[in-house]
Amino acid sequence: MVQVKDRIKHNFISKFAIALAAVTFIPSIVLLPSCEEPTYSFDNPADPDSMDYKPPAIFFWPDSVSIVRTFSDTISVYALKIDSLAAAYIGVEYHWGSVSIDTVLVGDFFTNSNTSEFLIAEDKQGVLDIFIFYLPDETTSATGTGSIVEIVFKAELPGTYALTFVDSTEMRDADNLPILLNDMGEGLIHVVD
Amino acid sequence: MKSEVHSSKRVRVAKKRIFAAVMIPLLTAAPPDKIAVLDFDPHNFPPSFSKSLTEKFRQSLTDSSDAVVFSRKSTGQFSVLYQTAEEDYKSCRTLSCALEIGKKLGADYLIAGTVSNFDSTVSLNMQVFSMDFGIRVDSIHIATAGGIDSLLILAKSSGKDLGKSLTKVIGKPVEPLQYPLLAPEMQTTMLMGPRVTAAANSRSLSQPIVIHGPVPGVGLVEYLITSGKLRAALYSSAIPGSGQLYSKKKWSALSFFTTELVISGMALYHHQSYKKAHEEADRFYALYENTDFPELAPGYKEQVLHHVETLKHHNNWLKNYRDAGRLIWLINIAHAYYVGPETIYSVRPKRTDVTVSYNPVTQKPALNVSITLD
Rounded Cα distance between A47 and B294, Å, is 5
For residue B78, pLDDT over 60 is answered with: no
Whether A38 has its CB under 8 Å from any CB of chain B: the answer is: yes
Task: Tell me: do B58 and B161 sit in the same domain.
Answer: yes
Asked if residue B189 and residue B103 are part of one domain, the reply reads no
Which residues lie below 8 Å from residue A120, measured CB to CB, with a gap of 6+? A129, A130, A131, A132
Residue-level pLDDT at B46: 78
Instruction: Kindly tell me if the per-residue pLDDT of B177 is higher than 60.
Output: no
Cβ–Cβ < 8 Å for B351, B372 = yes
Which residues of chain A are within 8 Å of residue B234 when distances are taken between CB atoms?
15, 18-19, 22
More confident residue, B148 or A183: A183
Backbone angles phi, psi at B115, to 5 degrees: -120, 130
Nearest of B244, B269, B264, B249 to residue B331 by alpha carbon: B244
Calculate the alpha carbon distances from B340 to A4, B75, B141, B242 in Å. 18, 14, 35, 11
Domain final residue pick, B140, B169, B198:
B169
Of the residues B119, B142, B169, the one at which a domain ends: B169
Q: Which residue of B has its CA nearest to A14?
A: B235
Chain A touched by B102 (CB under 8 Å): no
Q: What H or E segment, with its residue span, contains residue B34?
A: strand B34-37
Largest CA distance in chain B: 124
- Inform me whether the pLDDT recorded for A2 exceeds 70: no
Query: Are B204 and B352 members of one domain?
Result: yes
What pLDDT does A3 receive?
45
A83-130 pLDDT per residue, tens: 989 899 999 999 998 999 999 999 988 876 666 788 899 998 889 999
Contact check, Cβ <8 Å, B294/A47? yes
* pLDDT tier at A30, thresholds 50, 70, 90: low
Are residue B339 and residue B362 in the same domain, yes or no?
no
Chain B residues in contact with A146 (beta carbon < 8 A): 295
Q: Is A8 on the interface with B (CB under 8 A)?
A: yes
Closest partner residue to A44 (CB to CB) among B218, B289, B347 is B289
Cα B158–Cα B144–Cα B76 angle in degrees, nearest 5: 50
Q: Is A74 helix (H, G, I), strand (E, B) or coil?
A: strand
- The pLDDT mean for chain B works out to 73
Rounded to an integer, what distance in angstroms lies between the CA atom of residue B326 and that of residue B332?
10
Between positions 12 and 31 of B, the ones with CB within 8 A of A are none
Q: Do both B38 and B139 map to the same domain?
A: yes
Q: Report how far residue B224's alpha carbon sits from residue A69's, in angstroms, rounded to the nearest whole number.
A: 86
pLDDT of residue B191: 36
Q: In angstroms, rounded to a whole number, what is the distance separating the alpha carbons of residues B202 and A92?
A: 112
Residue of A nearest to B287 (CA): A44
For A4, which of B81, B291, B301 is closest by C-beta distance? B81
In a domain, residue B223? The reply is no
A58-192 has which fold? Answer: Immunoglobulin-like (2.60.40)
**B48: phi then psi, degrees, rounded to nearest 5:** -65, -40
| CB contact (8 A) between residue B322 and residue A5 | no
B-chain residues within 8 Å CB-CB of A34?
319, 322
Q: What is the DSSP letter of A27?
A: I
The chain B residue lying nearest A24, using CA atoms, is B238
Residues B157 and B83 in one domain: yes
3-state secondary structure B53-115: HHHHHHHHHHHHCCCEECCHHHHHCEEECCCCCCCCHHHCCCHHHHHHHHHHHCCCEEEEEEE
Binned at pLDDT 50, 70 and 90, residue B193 comes out as very low
Provide the pLDDT confidence category of residue B2 given band limits of 50, 70 and 90.
Answer: very low
Identify whether residues B62 and B130 lie together within a single domain: yes
Domain count, chain B: 3
Whether B291 sits inside 8 A of A33 (CB atoms) is no
Q: A–B: how many Cβ contacts below 8 A?
A: 115
Q: Which residue of A has its CA nearest to B328?
A: A30
Q: What is the pLDDT of residue B108?
A: 84
Nearest chain B Cα distance for residue A5, angstroms: 8
The 10s digit of each residue's pLDDT in B229-280 is: 888 888 888 888 888 888 888 899 999 988 988 888 888 888 889 999 999 9
pLDDT tens for each residue of B300-323? 999 999 999 999 999 999 888 888
pLDDT value, residue B4 = 46
- Range with top average pLDDT, A25-34, B216-225, B254-263: B254-263
pLDDT of residue A109: 87
**pLDDT, position B348:** 47
Of B278, B297, B311, the CB nearest to A47: B297
% of chain A with per-residue pLDDT over 70: 78
B4 CB within 8 Å of a chain A CB: no
In this structure, are B204 and B296 located in the same domain? no
Q: How far apart are CA B74 and CA B288, in angstroms?
A: 70
Burial class of B202 by CB neighbour count within 10 A (0 to 12, 13 to 18, 19+): exposed
Q: What is the pLDDT of residues B338-364, one digit of tens each?
A: 888 765 554 444 455 666 666 666 667
pLDDT number for residue B21: 54
CA separation for the pair A146, A77 (Å, rounded): 8
Percentage, residues of chain B above pLDDT 70: 62
Domain extents in chain A: 58-192
The whole-number average pLDDT for the span A7-24 is 59
pLDDT band at A61 (very low <50, low <70, confident <90, very high): very high
Q: Is B320 within 8 Å of chain A by CB?
A: no
Mean pLDDT of A20-30: 58
Q: Is A71 on the interface with B (CB under 8 A)?
A: no
More confident call, B137 vs A59:
A59
Q: Which residue of A has its CA nearest to B284?
A: A40
- Domain assignment present for residue B326? The answer is yes
Q: Print the domain residue range for B280.
A: 229-344
Residue B16: C-alpha distances to residues A82, B100, B240 (Å): 118, 35, 61
Cis peptide preceding A56, ω within 30 of 0 = yes
**A132-168 pLDDT per residue, tens:** 988 766 667 888 899 999 999 999 999 999 999 999 9
Q: B25-34, B37-46, B158-167 — which is least confidently predicted?
A: B25-34
In a shared domain, residues B76 and B92: yes
How near does any CA of chain A get to the CA of B95, in Å? 21
Rounded CA separation A151/A129 (Å): 11
Task: Look at residue B281 and tell me whether its pLDDT is greater than 90.
Answer: yes
CB contact under 8 A, A35 and B271: yes
Is B214 inside any structural domain?
Answer: no
B86 and B150 in a single domain? The answer is yes
Q: Identify whether B221 is part of a domain.
A: no
Residues of chain B numbered 198-237 and touching chain A (CB < 8 Å): 217-218, 222, 225-226, 234-235, 237
Rounded to the nearest angstrom, the minimum Cα separation between A82 and chain B is 12
Q: Which of A126-130, B194-198, B325-329 has the largest mean confidence?
A: A126-130
Higher-confidence residue: B373 or A164?
A164
Of all residues in chain A, the one with the smallest CA distance to B264 is A29
Nearest CA in chain B to A75: B293
Sorting pLDDT into bands at 50, 70 and 90, what band is B5? very low
Instruction: Look up the ipTM and state it.
Output: 0.79
